Amino acid sequence: MKLAEGVDLHFIKNQQFKTNHLTFRFSGHRQSKTVSRRVLVAQMLATASEDFPNNKLLRERFANLYGASLSTNVSTRGNIHIVDIDISFMSNRYVLGQEDLLGEVITIIGQLLFRPLISLEKYQTKTFDIEKKNLIRYLEIDEQDQFYNSMIGLQKLYYEEESLQISKYGTKELIEKENAFTAYQEFQKMLKEDKIDIFLLGDFNDYQATRQLIQFPLLDRDISLQKVYKQEFLNIVKEKVVSKDTTQSILQLGYHVPIYYGSQEYYAMLVAEGMLGGFSHSKLFTVVREQESLAYTVGIRYDAFTGFLRIYAGIEKNSRAKTFKVINQQINELKMGRFSSQLVKQTKQMIIGNAKMSMDNPKALIEQTYSSAIFSEESVDLQSFIDNISKVTKRDIVAAIGMMKLQAVYFLEGE
């Protein structure tokens, strides 16, 4: 249902959960100059409003609604930066008496959005500064994680687009530059210009929800989101070695895979990813970790919205060359079709099993609805996804993995 141009309301009727779930989602352009502001906005949305001027009062209000919970979350899809407000609350049918939890929750989210805690067109400085310090502290903790550091290092090597080189939370340096005014102005820009999707999942009264939500002062907006980021492959492999005073050494490999979400090759690439390193029975686990004992941890991550595949391994300092060689051997085995039908079958079963299990997660159901709205033709329902995975052949897998080309190597060398 369209509340305004670029503002859509999605009802997901479902009686399998005792709780209802409301997600208010902002989708905007992923830009390095605004990502930290958007994260600070997310922090403020979960902290206070004019009606609840401190976090304690806001939490108490939700606790009094039969233990309802509020959180905000930041994520990315390709060149889209997403800020979510998530509220989980009891379905009215489980509430004693006549209390209308749905109505209360919608009222509160309206207060958070349209009655923020501000002073002279900026967030209240005292509260904002506390949240800013908290966010910087979180990032400082992340920066102590060598896997996080090496992952960011690989992204900087691989991506040409600056906004994709940094974390979805931005950087400590970018956050330090922001203030109560710039963050609040970004929030007002989000309200006016972002694609907005409101998801309500559970057992609820459609008419009641629509009647309240349609009163939100959200105006038409014209936004064209770059759903998929595509980058040309460069013939030169970018390499970087960084030495750090740590006992860990981490090898990060970045591959260019020109296969994107929703394409027919996408399903074959999902199976290939699973066979290579997605599960405990995969080649990277059974050969690199168990058979060769080269890595204490090894894994893979394929981003179908940017065509970027990352293989990472925590290894001994002197095992870099051998680990790289063995990983490369496993990739070549797949490229040449040297794998068993049992490996294919087991991987498909795991992918399909995980997809079915995700349907028991409210957030996964919301994500599926979002994909259907944003990606329309490319998105499929659960049964179609299962059918597409089931149809993947050995030839499809070989063709998909054949498109995988090494583009960047980042090695964090422990000293």
DSSP for 319-384 reads: GHHHHHHHHHHHHHHHHTT---HHHHHHHHHHHHHHHHHHTTSHHHHHHHHHHHHHHGGG---HHH
Task: Report the distance separating Cα 93 and Cα 189, nearest Å.
Answer: 38
pLDDT tens digits along 143-192 = 889 999 999 999 999 999 999 999 999 999 999 999 999 999 999 999 99
Domain 2-214 identical in fold to domain 238-414: yes
CB neighbour class for 319 (10 Å; exposed up to 12, middle 13-18, buried from 19) = middle
Phi, psi torsion values for 74, nearest 5 degrees: -120, 135
Task: Report the distance separating Cα 98 and Cα 291, nearest Å.
Answer: 63
Superfamily of domain 238-414: Metalloenzyme, LuxS/M16 peptidase-like (3.30.830.10)
Q: What is the mean pLDDT of residues 256-264?
A: 92
pLDDT tens digits along 205-220 = 899 999 999 999 999 9
pTM comes to 0.94
Give buried/exposed letters for 200-229 (b at 16+ CB in 10 A, else e): bbbbbeeeebeebbeebebeeeeeebebbb
Task: Report the distance separating Cα 254 and Cα 404, nearest Å.
Answer: 10
- Kindly write down the DSSP assignment for every residue of 252-271, as one continuous string: EEEEE----TTSHHHHHHHH
pLDDT tens digits along 363-396 = 999 998 998 888 776 667 889 999 999 999 999 9
pLDDT tens digits along 24-69 = 999 999 999 999 999 999 999 999 999 999 999 999 999 999 899 9
What the block records as the tokens of 3 is 């509340």
Task: Report the distance separating Cα 360 and Cα 341, nearest Å.
Answer: 30
At residue 229, the pLDDT reads: 94
Going by C-alpha positions, the residue among 65, 55, 340, 88 that lies closest to residue 202 is 88
Superfamily of domain 2-214: Metalloenzyme, LuxS/M16 peptidase-like (3.30.830.10)
At residue 378, the pLDDT reads: 67
Going by C-alpha positions, the residue among 201, 193, 221 that lies closest to residue 2 is 221
Q: What ranges do the domains of the chain cover? A: 2-214, 238-414
